[in-house]
Amino acid sequence: MQQIEALFEATLAELLSYQPGVDLSELRTAYEVAKEAHSGQQRKTGEPFMLHPVETTRIIVDLLRKAADSKILQAALLHDTVEDKEEMTVAEIERRFGSEVATLVDGVTKISDLPFRSPENTQVETYRKMLLSMAKDIRVILVKLADRLHNMRTLEALPEHKRIRIAKETRDIYAPIAHRLGIAQIKWELEDLAFKHLDPENYRKLVRAISEKRTVREKAIEEVKEPIKRQLELQGIDAEIYGRPKHLWSILQKMQRLEAPFEEIFDLLGIRILTSSRADCYIVLGIVHDMFTPVADRLRDYIASPKSNMYQSLHTTVTDAKGERMVEIQIRTREMHRISEIGIAAHYSYKEGQTGPDREIHEKLGEFIVQGATEWQDESGDPGDFMDFLRTSLFQDEIFVFTPRGGLKRLPRGSTPVDFAFAIHSDVGFRTVGAKVDGAIVPLRYQLKSGQVVEVITSPHSNPSENWLGYVRSSRAKAKIRRYLAQERVEESVKLGREMLGRELKRQRKAIPKDKELEDVSLSFGLADVPLLFAKIGEGDISVQSVFSRIYPETKDQNKKVKSALDRIKNLAQRQVKGIHIGEIDGLLIRIAQCCNPIPGDKVIGLITKGRGISVHRIDCPNTFADRIDPERRIEVDWDVDREQRFPIRLVVIGGDRRGLLVDVAAVINRLGTDTTHAEMSLMGDGSVRGEFVVSVKNIKHLGKIVQAIKRINGVKRVDRAESIGPLEGE
Ligand code: MN
C-alpha cells in the first residue's frame, strides 16, 4: 500500500510539473474515497486493487499533461468503485464529487448483466452506453482507454480464456477507437499487447527477428539520416531527425497485406523529421527531394488536407544513395507530431462551465462514432448489426469526394456512388440509377477516389436493388438498403398471401370474409393485423389451409384429414409403382391394393390412405365402397403401363386328383410368356384337388388367354381369379 501511496504522490508531482500551483485537494479526497471503496480488494496479480485506479490516473496525466483537469482525474481514481462496490452508487459520487465526475464514472461503468438478455446483448448495450456518454463528454473515452491500457499491461495474471476475450475486444473495439481519436500512442500499445496474447507464437518470432536485424537496420538508417542532417544544419533549419520505430502489430499486418516476408517489410526504412514551423516542412521536403530520388506517386500532403483523425504530416518515399532501398520519410512540426501521438487529447481542453458536446471536437471527429452512436439509439437493430456498424465505422479509412457544387463528403475507403448518394440523402440513395465521376459515366459499383467530383443520376421510378448490398461500404447506406428491402419483401409477401387465401376460398367455393372476421383470425394467430396475417401466409409461416379452417371452422375436420394425408403422401413419395398415372399428381407413393389386385384393364380407383400413399383398387372392391371411405379420400387414377410390365395375380384351379396336374398347369402358364411365382396343391375333402398359382400378367387380356389355356388342360374343372393374392414372397 505504501508503494501505491508513493506512486500516487509521484503522479501528483508530475501533474504539478505541467500545471504549477494546481489545487490537489479534490484529487486527494477522491483517492481516499476510492481507497476506502476498494479496501481489502486484490488484483489477480496479487497487488492491492488501488494500484489500478492510480495507474489509470497516471496514464491520463501523461497523455493530457497541461490539459488534464481535476474532474477527469477524479473520475479516473473513482472509475471502478461503482462496479465493484455495492454500497457505492453513481448518486453517491454525484453527492460527494458533483455531477460531472458522476457522469464520467457512470459512462465507463459496465452495464450489469440484465435478466432476459444474452451476454452479447449486454455487451452491445455497454458499448452503446459508452459511445453515447462519449458523445456527451469525450473524457469518458479517455478514462476508458487509460483503464484498458493498464489492464492490458497486466493481462498476464488472468486465465487464458479471459486474456483472449479481453485482448480480442481490445483489438476490435478499443484500439480502433483510439485510432479514430488520433491517440496513436495508446493505439500502438493496445495493438501490440493484444497481438502478444492473441498470437503469442508470431509475436515472439517477430520480437526475435527484430532484435537480430536491429543493428543492420540502424546502420542503414544512419546512411540516409546523416547527410540530410548535415544539409539541414547547413541551411540553418531548426529540425530533429529520427529513425522511426516500427510497431510489431503493424509489421505483421503489412506482411500479411502485402504477402511479403519479414525482411522486406522491416527493411523498408522509416525516417521522421520534426520542424518548428509549417513552412519549414515544405522547405525540408524540397531539400530531401533534391538529395534523393523521390518514388513517383508516394507524396502525400496531410498538412494541407489532414486526415479525419486530425493527423497532419508530409509523407514521401525516396530511394537511398545507392538506389537500392526505399526510405519512407515523414515531415511535420513538433506540434503536429504531438497531435499525431495523442490526437484528440491535444485538442481537448476543459473549460469551466462548459456544458454539452464540444462542437469543434465533434466536427473534427466527423460522424464516425459520435453521430453514429447517437443515430443508433433510435434503431431497434440487433446486436450483430451494431457490432458490424462499430467495426466498419471504427476501422475504415476514408476518402473525400465532392458534390458538383463543391460540397465535401467523407466516405469510407472503397465507397461507391451509391454510398455517396445515401450520404447526400436517403431519398437520393433510393432513386439512384447511375453516376458520373468527373463528368464521365461510371458503373454503380465503381470505387470512388479522393478528390473526385461525383454526380448522382436519379429516376423517380427507381428503387434500391439487392445487388447494391454486394458493394456498398458505408454502414449508413447498408442499413438504409437493408431496411428498404425488408420492407419490400413484406409487401410482396402480403400480396402473395392475399392471393393464396383468395384462391383457396374460390376453390372451396366460399365467400370472401369481412374485414372484421379476418382481423379476428389474425388475432387468433397472435398477429396484430390482417396484412401481417397475409405476410405470414405469403412467407409460408402459416398454411393457407389453417387460416381457411379458422374462417370456416365447420369444414375444418374433413379438410384437415385430407390435407394431412396428402402431406404424408408427399413425404412418402420416394417409391413409385410404375403403371399408374394419377390425375395431375406426380411423384406420389402408389401401391396396388392387395385386397383386389387390379391389373391393367380393370376399372380402378385410388384411395388416399393414412400414411401409406395412394392404394389402387378395383372399382368394385368392397374396400372402396362409399359408405366405408370418405369421398374426400377418393382420387381418380388411370392406367399408364409399359409394354414389359407385369402384375401379379392369384389363380385358383380346381381339378380332379391326377398326378402331374400341377406340372401341366405350370407348363401352360410358362408357354404363355409369364412366370409362376408361387404354386401349391391341396387335396379337398370331396376328392378333388385345389391348386393356387400366383402369376404375373400384363393385363386383363393376357389373363383371359391364360385362364382359357388352363381350362383346356385335362382334368381341370374350373379356374378363378382370386380376390386377393395373399402375402407375396418377400413381402
Ligand atoms: Mn478499471
What DSSP string runs through 631-695? GGGEE-EEE---TT--EEEEEEEEEE--TTHHHHHHHHHHHTT--EEEEEEEE-TTSEEEEEEEE
pLDDT of residue 118: 60
The reported pLDDT for the residue numbered 731 is: 29
Given a cut of 50, whether residue 353 has pLDDT beyond it is no
Q: Is the pLDDT of residue 45 over 90?
A: no
84 included as an active-site residue: yes
With cut-offs at 50, 70 and 90, classify the pLDDT of residue 396.
low
154, 114 in Cβ contact below 8 A? Answer: no
- Could you report the per-residue pLDDT of 308-339, keeping only the tens digit for each? 667 889 999 998 877 778 888 999 999 888 88
CB 207 within 8 A of CB 193: no
Q: 376 falls in which pLDDT band (50, 70, 90)?
A: very low
Residue 297 DSSP symbol: T
pLDDT beyond 70 at 202:
yes
The pLDDT of residue 388: 59
pLDDT averaged over every residue in the chain: 79
- In this prediction, residue 446 carries a pLDDT of 93
Q: How far apart are CA 542 and CA 99, in angstroms?
A: 54
Centre of ligand 1 to C-alpha 246, Å, is 29
Q: Do residues 614 and 607 touch, judged by C-beta distance below 8 A?
A: yes
Task: Kindly state the average pLDDT of the residues 711-728.
Answer: 76
Query: At residue 729, does pLDDT exceed 50?
Result: no
Which listed residue (84, 529, 557, 657) is catalytic? 84
Average pLDDT over residues 556-569: 47
| Dist. CA 80 → ligand 1 center (Å) | 5
Among the residue ranges 89-103, 126-140, 536-550, 596-610, the one predicted with the least confidence is: 126-140
Q: What is the pLDDT of residues 416-455, one digit of tens each?
A: 999 999 999 988 999 999 999 988 899 999 999 877 889 9
114 Cα: distance to centroid of ligand 1 (angstroms): 21
The Cα–Cα gap between 29 and 93 comes to 12
Taking a C-beta distance cutoff of 8 angstroms, is the pair 611, 572 a contact?
A: yes
Residue 172, pLDDT score:
80
CA of 83 to the centre of ligand 1 (A): 9
Report CA 723 to chain centroid distance, whole Å: 64
Separation CA 197–CA 652 (nearest Å): 87
Using the predicted structure, report yes or no on whether residue 519 has a pLDDT greater than 60.
Answer: yes
Report residue 681 as a C-alpha cell.
396343391
Distance of CA 339 from the midpoint of ligand 1 (Å): 26
pLDDT > 60? residue 467 = yes
Q: Is 231 helix (H, G, I), strand (E, B) or coil?
A: helix
Assess whether pLDDT exceeds 90 at residue 542: no
What average pLDDT score do residues 659-664 get?
76
SS3 of 116, please? coil
Higher local confidence (pLDDT), 17 or 660: 17
Q: Write the DSSP symbol of residue 243.
A: E
Q: What is the whole-number distance in angstroms between the Cα of residue 16 and the centre of ligand 1? A: 24
Can you give the pLDDT at residue 75? Answer: 95
| Residue 120, pLDDT score | 64
Out of 3-12, 324-333, 383-392, 452-461, give the one with best mean pLDDT.
3-12
Q: Bridge partners of 315?
A: 300, 330
pLDDT of residue 728: 39
Distance 79 CA to ligand 1 centre (A): 6
For residue 355, the model assigns a pLDDT of 40
Residue 125 has pLDDT above 80, yes or no: no
Asked whether 680 and 646 are in contact (CB, 8 A), the reply is no
- How many angstroms is it from 46 CA to the middle of ligand 1? 16
> Quick one: pLDDT at residue 385?
57
Compute the distance from residue 11 Cα to the ligand 1 centre, in Å. Answer: 17
pLDDT at position 76 is 96
Question: Does 587 have pLDDT greater than 50?
Answer: no
Mean pLDDT computed over 130-143: 75
Residue 646: phi, psi to the nearest 5? -125, 145
List 5, 83, 630, 680, catalytic entry = 83
Measured in Å, residue 151 CA sits from the centre of ligand 1 at: 7
Q: Count CB atoms within 10 A of the CB of residue 182.
A: 26
Question: CA-CA distance, 89 to 97, in Å (whole number)?
Answer: 12
Q: In angstroms, rounded to a whole number, what is the distance separating the alpha carbons of residues 6 and 10?
A: 6
CB 249 within 8 A of CB 265: no
Q: Give mean pLDDT, residues 20-44.
A: 91
pLDDT over threshold 90, residue 274: yes
Question: Is residue 612 very low, low, confident or very high in pLDDT (cuts 50, 70, 90)?
Answer: low
In the predicted structure, residue 483 carries a pLDDT above the cut 50? yes
Q: How high is the pLDDT of residue 572?
A: 43
Q: What is the pLDDT of residues 185-200, one digit of tens each?
A: 899 999 999 999 999 9
Instruction: Give catalytic status of residue 630 as yes or no.
Output: no
Quick check: 549 pLDDT over 50? yes
pLDDT tens, 53-78? 999 999 999 988 888 889 999 999 99
Specify the higher pLDDT residue, 318 or 489. 318
pLDDT band at 93 (very low <50, low <70, confident <90, very high): very high
Highest mean pLDDT among 443-452, 611-620, 639-648, 658-667: 443-452
The per-residue pLDDT for 692 is: 84
| pLDDT of 122 | 67
DSSP state of 471: T
For the chain, give the percent of residues with pLDDT over 70.
79
Q: Where are the beta strands (DSSP E) in 95-175?
A: none
Asked if residue 698 has pLDDT above 90, the reply is no
Please state the φ and ψ torsions of residue 223, each to the nearest 5 degrees.
-65, -25
d(CA 29, CA 727): 97
Mean of the pLDDT values across residues 483-503?
85
Please give the share of the chain, as a percent, with pLDDT higher than 90: 25
674 falls in which pLDDT band (50, 70, 90)? Answer: confident
Q: In angstroms, what is the span from residue 81 Cα to ligand 1's centroid?
A: 9
